[in-house]
Copies of this chain bind each other. A is one copy, B any other.
Amino acid sequence: MTWALIADLFGTFFFAISGCLLAVGRGYDLVGSLLLGALTGLGGGVIRDVIIGRLPVAFDQPVYLLPPVLAALLVFAIAPSVQRFRRTLLVFDAGGLGLFCTTGTVIALSAGLNPIAAIVLGVTSAVGGGLLRDVVANRDPQLFNPNDLYAVPAILGAALLVGLWVLGWHSSLTGFAVAAFVFLFRVVSLRFKWRIPHASPPRGSEEP
């Protein structure tokens, strides 16, 4: 499971960077940036572990605290020279999405969840940290942004991984390949503004 630990730590780091960038953009101080980065980086994994009933890795292995600390310091150091917060945030967020989708699905399968539940837990792990970040920072979650695809690559990636697992083809190599697929799908969807249908509310409807 060493590859899984590495993937999880990098996913934590990428999400933490996205949280710290949002924090700096909002004018939070260094500790606020560390906390939002930690919530973003560790939140998806805590939700995942609480659901399957094990002690969350963030509270078991102190090494998981390193990525948020490094992310907060790095973003603090380079903040004045980051010209495009929003775009940088989205790329790091996509990296976390790919890695957490992979590790979450594998952890779910290893915990004995059925294939369908493993997909749901993989997606939950992947989108949970970013959702917590946006909710506590009081902004509309990226997850629901109708102008690009966020959950779709995670759902496809988790389903692909479950398929590979069932066929006995899962390995660290295919795991990283799935993570890369999710990352690239997300980034390309942002670049080309891929969209899926959305029903418009009827004219004259009351906003619910």
Contact = CB atoms under 8 A, between A and B. Distances in A.
Interface of A: 21-33, 35-36, 46, 50-56, 58-60, 62, 65, 75-76, 79-87, 89, 108, 113-114, 116-117, 120-121, 127, 131, 135-141, 143-146, 149, 151-152, 155, 195-202, 204-208
B79 A116 contact: no
Given A24-B201, A51-B55, A29 B196 contact: yes
A7 to B, nearest CB: 21
Contacts of A76: 197, 199
A166 to B, nearest CB: 15
A50 B52 contact: no
B62 A56 contact: no
Contacts of A58: 117, 120
| Chain A to chain B: the 9 pairs with minimum beta-carbon distance, closest first | A79-B199, A29-B198, A25-B208, A62-B116, A85-B208, A32-B144, A29-B146, A59-B117, A86-B206
A150 B140 CA distance: 25
A62 B116 CA distance: 6
Contacts of A79: 199-202
Nearest to A140: B138
Interface of A, helix, strand, loop or mixed by DSSP: helix
Given A28-B146, A51-B56, A84-B205, A65 B120 contact: yes
Contact of A114 (B52, B62, B146): B62
Contacts of A201: 24-25, 27, 79, 82, 85
Contacts of A108: 59
A139 B75 CA distance: 25
A206 B85 contact: yes
Nearest to A46: B51
B135 A196 contact: no
A200 B82 CA distance: 11
A198 B86 contact: no
